[in-house]
Every structure is written in C-alpha cells, then in structure tokens.
Structure 1
Amino acid sequence: MELEVKLQAFEGPLDLLLHLIEKNKVDIYDIPIVEITEQYLDYVSKMPKDDLDLASEFLVMAATLIDIKSRMLLPKEIDENGEEIDPRAELVEKLIEYKMYKYAAVELRDMQVYAGKSMYKQPTVPEEVSKYEPPVNLDSLLADVDLNKLNDIFQMVLKRQVDKIDPVRSKFGKIEMEEVSLPDKISYVSTTVKKRKKCKFKQLLEEAHSKVEVIVSFLAILELIKVGEIEVRQDATFGEIYIDSIE
C-alpha cells in the first residue's frame, strides 16, 4: 500500500514562505534563509506536478531562495553610500506587501459575511417630509467663507461681549450679609468675661473676624455695662482697658 501525504494548499509561493516564517516564529526582517530554503524545497519536492503553471511559480521562488542563499555566502556587497546590501531585502518587501493584502482580503471577507447577516428597514419617511427643502441653502450661504473670515467674525463677537461689560460695576464685589447677632454676642461676651474673670477689652475685639463683628462686640459690651453685669476700668491714662465681671 502506498503512503499518501496530504499537503496544505497555498495560494502561491509567497503564501508558502509566509506560512514557513510564521511556523518557525522568526522575524520577517531577519529571515534565516538557509533553514527556510530547506523547508521550502522539501515542500516543493512533495507537490503534485499536475498543474505546471502553479508548479513553475514555486520553482521560480525556489531558484530565488537558492540565489539569495548563495549571495549570503559571498562577501558582503556595499552600495554607493557605503552600507551593506542585504540580499533578502527585496524578498522581505514582497512578503510584507503580500501580508498586508492578505489581511485586507480577510477583513473584506468578514465584512461581506457580516453584511449578509444585516437586515435593513425600508424607508418610511412621509412624502411631505421627503419633499421638504430648507429655506436657506447653507452651501451657497457659506460658499465664500474661509478660515480668515470666520476668525474675523469670532473676534467681532468677542469684542461685542467685552463692550457689554460695565467698566465700573464689573469691579464691584459681592455684598453678603454677615450673620452676627447682638444677643448671641452679648451671651458670648458675658460667658467669656465670667470664665476669664479678668478680660482685656482689646482682646475681645481682636477675636472678631470682620468690622461688623467688631461693632456688634462693642455694642454687646455697652449693653452688659448698662445692665450691670460687667464693669470697665483703666488703671492708667492710655493704658490697657480691662473688663471685669460683676458677681
């Protein structure tokens, strides 16, 4: 019984070379030409010789590989710029170009398959809507408009916005009402003086966070003096003013 060997079908010699490169997991820019040539010739020797046109293409590529292999055994060739000429460069360019077209063909095939599974809805736009024409033709309206004109219009709009700003009122700050209650401040001053026994008038005012709070604090001290809860004394002229609690 004869042994039948079933070989994978390739679309051409470049397809076979690309298969061998991917199978051996080598860099396409640095092809081990000796190993790839041996594998290629081994495959070609097992190919059926029925189709002479197809077989001739593989034989031409085999001759090319053998030529590259022999050139790599010779001393390096130098080009006009003094750089080494790689005998594999032309073959690498063809392989990369073939690989790009092959991947593009796969993408187009997938798009065709997906398109065959798509369902489209027939247009159901009312006749009145389909016949509608916009009152202004934007293409003709903007026919003479370029980037310079658009920039001029943009700068003009910005200038109008600046002209609308009042130069005086725009510098006004925001007036906010401070929540400072006189009864709360009276309670705070009374508690603070009783706790400290002896408190400086200046110290109470310095604890305020705003002018309004200073004024309210001063009014609170006057009110407590009026009702007889505290007394104010000054031991010397221009000296420190002290606030004492009246038990």
Structure 2
Amino acid sequence: MEMTVKLQVFEGPLDLLLHLLEKNKVNIYDIPIVEITNQYMEYIAEMKRQDLNVVSEFLVMAATLIDIKSRMLLPAPETEDEEEEDPRAELVQQLLEYKMYKCMAYELRDRQMDAERVLFKEPTIPPEVAEYEEPVNMEELVSDVTLARLNEIFKSIMKKQVDKIDPIRSKFGKIEKEEVSLSDKMAYLENYCLTHSRFSFRSLLEAQAGKMEIIVTFLAILELMKTGKIFISQEHTFDDILIQSKIVA
C-alpha cells in the first residue's frame, strides 16, 4: 500500500531555505550548510516524484548549495593580507533581502484585510449648517464709507471700464455681410444691356452699392464677355472702358 505525502508548497527556493532555517532554529548569519543542504536535497527528491514542472528553480539552488558545501569542505588557501571570504555570504544576503520583502508582503496583506472590514461614510453637511448665513451688520460695514470715498470708488471703476476699450478697434464700424450672387448680377446686367446698347464701365461700377457689389459686377462682366453677349473697347490707355451690348430684345 502506497502512502501519499503532501508536501508544503513554497513560493521558491529561498522560501524553502528560510523554512529550513526556522525549522532547525539556526542563525541566518551562520548557516550549517551541510545539514541544510542535506535537508534541502531530501525535499527536492520528494518534489521530483510529484511535479517535475516546478522543480527547475529549486535544482539551481541545490547546485548553489552543493557548490558552497564543497568550498567550505576544501582547505582555505593561506593568505597573509586578505581576509578569508565566507562562501555563504552571497546566499545570506539573498535570504535577508527575501525575508524583508516577505515581511513587507505579509504587512500589506494584513492591511488589505483590515481595510476590507472598514466602511467609509460619504461626507454630508446638515441642512441647518448648509443654510446658515452669517448676519451682516450694515452699519458696521459702511461705517468708514463717506461720499468722498464713494466718489473715488466710482471713478476707479469707470477708469477700469475705459481702460478695457481698445482705442483702435473701438472705432471700427460693424461689418455686415453683403448677399450678392453672381447669377443675379448677370441677370441684372443682361436686363441693363437691353436698354443700354453702349455704356461706361466706370459709370456702371460707380452705380453699385458697395465693394461686394462692385466685385460681383466685375465678375459678371467677365462672364458675359466670355459668352459673347458683350464686348469692351478702349480708345487710349487710361481712357474709360466702353461696353457694347450684343443682347437683343
């Protein structure tokens, strides 16, 4: 009959080493490397029978322990000036750091468990406190206010308002968009040409209401020239341009 032994689960090789040190009640700075290595190897042997997938990290530590064990069994070289280095020093440092982080993890876990048992109440203000308004004594508030002081305050406020005004932009007029379409202006010119077979380009533009109308009128003249409905002529340079209509009623 086979007897199944359930091994304690360790988070890694350093966790197993700490367990062995605590179990044997030995000083972490003076590890009995031979005894600890033997116990460690017994645990590894049992682990290999149960789960080979998690044993690789433990085997690396086992090799490290055997290396330390062999160096401690060999006679140390005789040196006069240099102090003999303890083969266990690096392992001790790793164990101390791991133990520190493990203690920190336990502390954080305990704090999390304590926090789960704490309930917080949203801050609220009683209605009587929220509605309270500190009384104002008007006599005390205006006790040092005179007509001269009020006049100074008024002038100061008015000066600030004047300072806000841009001396340049404030003189600009209101810009309004002129709705003038090219098709409407072309229709206007065609009707105009029915009653004016020959007319002045300058006079036509001067009769327009604004800049936008002048621009659109000029574009309309170009469109009518393109279609051959009007043509222009000029006797001399800088003379007035004359428009001749070809539109017949």
* Normalised TM-score (structure 1): 0.48
* Normalised TM-score (structure 2): 0.48
Structure label with greater radius of gyration:
2
